[in-house]
Structure 1
Amino acid sequence: MEQSPPRNTSVTVADVARMAGVSKATAARVLGGYGTVSERVREAVTAAARALNYRPNELARSMTTGRSGTIGVVVGDIENPFFSLAVRGITDIARQAGFTVILTNSGENAETEKAAIRTLLAKRVDGLIVSPASESDIDHLREATRSGLPMVLLDRGSEALDVDTVIADDRHAAETVTRKLIALGHRRIAYITACDTPDHCFRMVQDINTGSVRRRIEGYLSVCAEAGLTGMEKWVRVGAVKSEQTHSIVAELFRSPERPTAIIASDSMIALEIFKVHRQLGLSIPGDVSLVSFHDADWTSVTTPTVTVVRQPVYDLGTTAAKLLVERLNGAAPAARKVVLKSEIVERASTREAYGDC
């Protein structure tokens, strides 16, 4: 009977082959998941690998198969519940397909994103899922696709990249919530986003490099213009990146002589800070200000009042992106696809009719 290797010796394919009574090449086919062997041989090799506690050498496997078995994912802010849920969708599909996810965080910074992409390419990932920090600074993504690496854009598209893209219907959702607020009599409607400009002031939609947010602001401004509300650009506030910046922006708005009667928060982290500041200043939601937030974060349904939200299909964005990438990794080669998933407006208790000087 073959003796098991000593405990301090790394178990190799050759060790597994000897125990199973097959050639090293046959054992490698079974352990690597390629080629054809009989079911009897497969069971013998699998049993031997289990008995020896065999762990594959991923570098050697990638050199043999041309695959690392990994997918690289780059998101804007992993602390944001939106991205956390999307990544959950990605990992669920990747795991089912036999892939491991390597997750990196860009912090919504294009230079950090470039460094992350370089690291993932060095690790020989089989494909990429990226939420670009900037839609205008994408040469690094273009170079990655030119090398033949499959890529899917998540939540943010780019007309300059011929790759699969999965987004939500952001503009339509923003149009819907803006119409609802205007129908309630609101005229001073602020929109707050983490996206920023060099001087921290918003002047035009072209200032916004993040496609999902740009589409929302386009929808908001379009509906305001339809309703005869002019100069609404002044109500768009940028730079709400961290809680400190958001607190300052919201406090300034609330203390202004022309306080907004309604606020649209571009994500749930901003909405949460709005909720904190209004209480600190002794204001009431929705008595003094109505609030609508993009993303149906868990906390929005348990506060007093509960918060009206745009419920985006976040998990489905992640699963759809992963499915498109896995299809390409498995040999599918259709033209680049753009998938737009529908959002839902969930009306709760944080909005009401505007009264007084609006």
Structure 2
Amino acid sequence: MDQSPPRSPSVTVADVARKAGVSKATAARVLGGYGTVSDRVRDAVTAAARALDYQPNELARSMTTGRSGTIGVVVGDIENPFFSLAMRGITDVARQAGFTVVLINSGEDAEAEKAAIRTLLAKRVDGLIVSPAKESDVGHLREAARAGRPLVLLDRGSEMLDVDMVIADDRHAAEGITRRLIALGHRRIAYLTACDTPDHRFRTPSDINTGSVRRRIQGFLGVCREAGLDGMEDRVHVGAVTPEHTHRIVTGMLQSSQRPTAIIASDSVIGLEVFKVCRALGLSIPDDLSLVSFHDADWTSVTTPPVTVVRQPVYRLGETAAKLLVERLNGNHAEASRVVLQTKVIERASVAEAPV
């Protein structure tokens, strides 16, 4: 038979007020963080709450203050180290500003993203940070902004929304690495991305719904045209959505009679799979294949050879997005801002002159 003592009822604001010798309204102002009270009263209420082990009722507080103290974040793939590091930047800023973060993973699916936004709005989040899965399908984000929820777009901007956005200079980065490969004699350069099309074939950059990737492909193709390389659209490969898909695509490329001499991986998850397939096929990096990956993931610096990467300011992307959102929540009504952060190519040992 259970002999443990019965649980005591939850401590209420009235209990704290009684112990502190103040009115319930005064205790509520202190505990809810709104209104003004003297330092002496605040100290007395805080001490009483601590002595009674008072736990705030978040729902009741949100109904009183209009604030839940939470920020909702929706990203495409939390398993991707890019989003993990961006989340660190978001949560560090949010915590310092007194907000907690509710994270939902969309799996890069627009319908899942819409459901996530509905869930977060139902939970009364104070604001949203979103990496849109499909930049042409943002009606749900527009409605959230119209409903009075401040919204910041992370890594992926949209010309269809008049909201704050923080992106990296992706096109310039792609142009730089493409020029570098062409200068080393590469002509058969492939670009590989997880973005996909209905028939799994790339035709034009407008096929790509993710703005950051679309800008990279535009930079890649633009430099190829400048260099007189025709038909490079056929060397843009889509659909590397899982390691298994990537393995199949890369194996097909590297066993082709028109095998690429260089591959640009659109993220580090894809880059790692390219590296593995090369090893499995007995190909040498960089003697047989040069490899460049977007995102400076930890593994890229410890392989043999270490991999040349485009280092994106990932932590700063998250940090800046959160700062913009907190400013909005604190009353900033200025025009929407579009912040572009610079990237940097980290030269390692995975790029060499094209094989003869």
Query: Same fold per TM (> 0.5)?
Result: yes
Cα deviation, residue 332, structure 1: 0.5
Q: What runs of 5+ residues in structure 1 fail to find an aligned partner? A: 1-5
> One-letter code of the match for 2:96?
Q
Q: Give, in whole Å, the separation in 1 of the partners of 2:314 and 2:174.
A: 16
Instruction: Give the equivalent residue in structure 2 for 1:58.
Output: 58
Is 2:313 the partner of 1:317? Answer: no
Instruction: Give the equivalent residue in structure 2 for 1:166.
Output: 166
Is 2:254 the partner of 1:254? Answer: yes
Instruction: Give the equivalent residue in structure 2 for 1:14.
Output: 14
Cα deviation, residue 190, structure 1: 0.2
Cα deviation, residue 335, structure 1: 0.2
Is 2:244 the partner of 1:244? Answer: yes
Contact 2:287 2:355 in 1 (8 A): no
Instruction: Give the equivalent residue in structure 2 for 1:234.
Output: 234
Instruction: Give the equivalent residue in structure 2 for 1:145.
Output: 145
Cα deviation, residue 146, structure 1: 1.2
> One-letter code of the match for 2:45?
V
Instruction: Give the equivalent residue in structure 2 for 1:134.
Output: 134
Q: Give, in whole Å, the separation in 1 of the partners of 2:123 and 2:71.
A: 10
Q: Give, in whole Å, the separation in 1 of the partners of 2:21 and 2:8.
A: 23
Cα deviation, residue 47, structure 1: 0.7
- Structure 1 runs of 4+ off > 4 angstroms? none
Q: Structure 1 length as normaliser, TM-score? A: 0.97
Q: Give, in whole Å, the separation in 1 of the partners of 2:8 and 2:42.
A: 27
- 1:1-358 mapped onto 2 (5 Å cutoff): 7-356=7-356
> One-letter code of the match for 1:267?
D
Q: Give, in whole Å, the separation in 1 of the partners of 2:13 and 2:304.
A: 61
Q: Give, in whole Å, the separation in 2 of the partners of 1:283 and 1:179.
A: 24
Q: Give, in whole Å, the separation in 1 of the partners of 2:232 and 2:286.
A: 21
Tell me the SS of whatever aligns to 1:45: helix
Tell me the SS of whatever aligns to 1:203: coil
Cα deviation, residue 284, structure 1: 0.5
1:178-231 CA deviation, whole Å, 9 max, x = no partner? 000000100000000000000000000000000000000000000000000010
Q: Give, in whole Å, the separation in 2 of the partners of 1:34 and 1:144.
A: 25
Instruction: Give the equivalent residue in structure 2 for 1:3.
Output: none
> One-letter code of the match for 1:346?
I
Tell me the SS of whatever aligns to 2:90: helix
Tell me the SS of whatever aligns to 1:113: helix
Q: CA RMSD in A?
A: 0.7
Q: Structure 2 length as normaliser, TM-score? A: 0.98
Q: Give, in whole Å, the separation in 2 of the partners of 1:332 and 1:291.
A: 44
Contact 2:90 2:321 in 1 (8 A): yes
Q: Give, in whole Å, the separation in 1 of the partners of 2:297 and 2:8.
A: 49
Q: Give, in whole Å, the separation in 1 of the partners of 2:35 and 2:142.
A: 34
1:9-39 CA deviation, whole Å, 9 max, x = no partner? 0010001111111111111011011111111
1:140-170 CA deviation, whole Å, 9 max, x = no partner? 1111111111000000000010000000000
Q: Give, in whole Å, the separation in 1 of the partners of 2:36 and 2:329.
A: 21
Tell me the SS of whatever aligns to 1:71: strand
Tell me the SS of whatever aligns to 2:201: coil
Cα deviation, residue 355, structure 1: 2.4
> One-letter code of the match for 2:342?
K
1:275-333 CA deviation, whole Å, 9 max, x = no partner? 11110111100011000000000000000000000000000000000000000000010
Cα deviation, residue 106, structure 1: 0.5
Among the aligned pairs, what percent are the same residue? 79
Cα deviation, residue 70, structure 1: 0.4
Q: What runs of 5+ residues in structure 2 fail to find an aligned partner? A: 1-5
1:53-74 CA deviation, whole Å, 9 max, x = no partner? 1110000000000000000000
> One-letter code of the match for 1:92?
D
1:100-130 CA deviation, whole Å, 9 max, x = no partner? 1000000000000000000001001000000
Cα deviation, residue 7, structure 1: 4.4
